[in-house]
Amino acid sequence: MSCLEVQPIKTQNTPERGGEFLVCHCHGVTEGDIRLAIAETGASSVEEVSIRTRAGTGCRACRCKLSRILSGLPADCGRFGLCQHCGFAEVLCACSAA
Ligand code: FES
């Protein structure tokens, strides 16, 4: 199956790194890492979080998740989140790990 084929929608992303939601695939940064950086440094913008964690400094696909966290929302974008394994939008992803 290719990642471009439609598959049933999951309600939550697969946990990664000890059960924490992996927000930035490029740099392996979890939601917990980001929330800790915000709490410890007072980072209040995507740019500040990126400087402190490196999240969002690669392909930039996770920057919407950084915004969600900064807005007090869960990082997971639900059905429009990225597959934790292949990086395609889950609504399109059908890789064997999804
Ligand atoms: S997934 Fe975060 S920069 Fe690429």
In this prediction, residue 80 carries a pLDDT of 63
Domain segments of the chain: what residues?
Answer: 22-79
pLDDT score of 89 more than 70:
no
> In angstroms, what is the span from residue 27 Cα to ligand 1's centroid?
7
65 lines ligand 1 (CB under 6 A): no
The predicted-structure confidence for 22-55, as pLDDT tens digits, reads as follows: 999 999 999 999 999 999 999 999 999 999 999 9
pTM for the model: 0.66
Q: Where does the pLDDT of residue 72 fall: very low under 50, low under 70, confident under 90, or very high at 90 and above?
A: confident
Is 22-79 in CATH node 3.30.470.10?
A: no
HEC profile for the chain?
CCCCCCCCCCCCCCCECCCECEEECCCCEEHHHHHHHHHHHCCCCHHHHHHHHCCCCCCCCCHHHHHHHHCCCCCCCHHHCECCCCCCECCCCCCCCC
Does the Cβ of 59 fall within 6 Å of ligand 1? yes
